[in-house]
């Protein structure tokens, strides 16, 4: 039996149980077990660390020597300066005063400190048991993918995973329209407080007016569509990547819906100054510097005769220079308004053997696939999600 956290009714319950047990003369093993101690009643206090441990102990009336004893015993296994509001504690006192035990839950570990009969404290550490579950979530979009998924209860990390799965075929920053629908099935783990601490999306669907229907399911370490084609491709759908941008904006409590324009043979992505810009494919830097009206410009050479350029940057990624290899998704610079530009935006262009291409119309090419069992499993997972 484990002490449940943050239950307000627990104190009443504990007192009632303790009274009952003492009447019945029973003995039960509990995490705050004081073997051999006759404890008729208990006082329990629990909460999360809005202040440090010392201030909690002080507020509970512990004297200097007792606080020092508790802190030095705990600090053998736990960095007390790292306690945060998401970490919880439970203190158990005997009704006649002294602290009997203290339990702290942090980073999926339970630290149990208990007063020893002969004086001093014993400390044990164990992993917190996680609950595993599976489920399906779905929704319709009115403003952004982020808002819709958040409203449906999808945690931020899973939203980014979902966007990653389709990052070669859907630009969730510019191609989302009101009325689009999404669905996902997932396996996840929750901590005792109910917070999702790990997840894996097993299948994903997107129905977009701009994008059409997109489907994916996990097989081994990749995602595939019903035909068994890998979701991976040589080019990302956009140089402004959902994961990079969301983490950039999450810190600023704002989730942008970006726009793009096609005033020339490239694409202009309107985005705030400082927005991270990613390489759309693996490649080599052939130019990183100032180039007339382009301002700060990065040019990348890719396989198969492709060249991509990223203009008007406010700055380059650290260490970026000619000859440097970059991987797909790497940040190469940041949106700006350098050169001839009327406002912050990314000027993005693609050429194949010197000829400009319409990047948005380029044919999506899968990087591989699965057949047989894998293909059947993927098709079945997608079909079940769509039901």
In order of 14, 27, 116, the CA distances from 40 in angstroms are 11, 11, 18
Q: Please say which residue, 256 or 295, places its beta carbon nearer to Zn ion.
A: 295
Whole-number minimum distance, CB 267 to Zn ion, in Å? 8
Q: Please say which residue, 161 or 268, places its beta carbon nearer to Zn ion.
A: 268
Give, as one character, the DSSP assignment of residue 96.
Answer: T
Whole-number minimum distance, CB 175 to Zn ion, in Å? 19
Alpha helices in 75-127 (DSSP H): none
152: Cβ contacts below 8 Å, ≥ 6 apart: 137, 138, 139
* Sequential DSSP letters for 254-292: -----EEE-SSSSEEEE--TT-EEE-SSSEEEEEEEE-G
Q: Please say which residue, 342 or 353, places its beta carbon nearer to Zn ion.
A: 342
Distance between alpha carbon 250 and the CA centroid of its chain, in Å?
11
Cα dihedral value 194, 198, 204, 210, nearest 10: 90
Whole-number minimum distance, CB 311 to Zn ion, in Å? 7
Q: Please say which residue, 171 or 268, places its beta carbon nearer to Zn ion.
A: 268
Q: Please say which residue, 98 or 289, places its beta carbon nearer to Zn ion.
A: 289
In order of 20, 218, 263, 333, the CA distances from 275 in angstroms are 62, 30, 21, 9
Whole-number minimum distance, CB 268 to Zn ion, in Å? 4
User: Tokens standing for 386?
Assistant: 């769509």
Whole-number minimum distance, CB 328 to Zn ion, in Å? 23
Q: Please say which residue, 106 or 345, places its beta carbon nearer to Zn ion.
A: 345
Residues in contact with Zn ion by CB under 5 A are 268, 347
Q: How many CB atoms lie within 10 A of CB 290?
A: 11
Whole-number minimum distance, CB 262 to Zn ion, in Å? 9
Q: Please say which residue, 175 or 347, places its beta carbon nearer to Zn ion.
A: 347
Whole-number minimum distance, CB 228 to Zn ion, in Å? 38
Tokens 């985005």 locate to: 271
Q: Closest-CB residue for Zn ion? A: 347
Which of 292, 255, 287, 256 has the alpha carbon at shortest distance from 351?
287
């Amino acid at each position: 039996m484990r002490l449940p956290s943050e239950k307000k009714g627990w104190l009443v319950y504990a007192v009632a149980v303790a009274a009952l047990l003492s009447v019945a003369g029973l003995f039960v093993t509990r995490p705050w077990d004081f073997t051999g101690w006759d404890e008729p009643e208990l006082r329990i206090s629990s909460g999360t660390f809005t202040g440090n441990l010392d201030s909690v102990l002080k507020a509970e009336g512990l004297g200097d020597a007792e606080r020092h004893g508790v802190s030095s015993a705990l600090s053998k296994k736990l960095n007390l300066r790292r306690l945060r509001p998401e970490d919880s504690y439970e203190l158990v006192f005997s009704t006649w005063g002294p602290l009997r035990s203290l339990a702290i839950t942090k980073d999926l570990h339970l630290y149990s400190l208990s007063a020893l009969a002969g004086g001093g404290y014993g400390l044990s550490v164990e992993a917190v048991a996680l609950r595993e579950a599976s489920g399906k979530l779905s929704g319709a979009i009115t403003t952004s993918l982020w808002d819709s998924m958040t409203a449906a209860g999808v945690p931020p990390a899973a939203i980014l995973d979902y966007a990653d799965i389709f990052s070669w075929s859907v630009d969730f920053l510019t191609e989302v329209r009101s009325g689009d629908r999404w669905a996902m099935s997932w396996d996840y783990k929750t901590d005792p407080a109910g917070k999702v601490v790990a997840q894996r999306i097993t299948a994903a669907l997107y129905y977009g007016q701009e994008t059409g229907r997109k489907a994916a399911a996990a097989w081994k370490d990749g995602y595939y569509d019903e035909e068994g084609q890998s979701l991976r491709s040589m080019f990302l759908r956009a140089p402004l990547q959902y994961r990079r941008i969301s983490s950039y904006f999450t810190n600023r409590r704002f989730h942008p819906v970006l726009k793009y324009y096609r005033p020339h043979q490239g694409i202009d992505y309107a985005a705030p100054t400082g927005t991270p810009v990613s390489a759309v494919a693996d490649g080599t830097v052939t130019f990183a510097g100032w180039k007339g009206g382009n301002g700060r410009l990065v040019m990348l050479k890719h396989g198969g005769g492709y060249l991509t350029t990223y203009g008007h940057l406010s700055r380059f990624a650290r260490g970026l220079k000619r000859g440097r290899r970059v991987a797909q998704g790497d940040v190469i610079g940041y949106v700006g308004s350098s050169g001839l530009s009327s406002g912050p935006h990314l000027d993005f262009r693609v050429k194949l053997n010197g000829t400009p291409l319409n990047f948005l119309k380029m044919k999506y090419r899968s990087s591989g696939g699965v057949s047989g069992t894998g293909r059947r499993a993927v098709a079945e997972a997608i079909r079940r999600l769509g039901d």
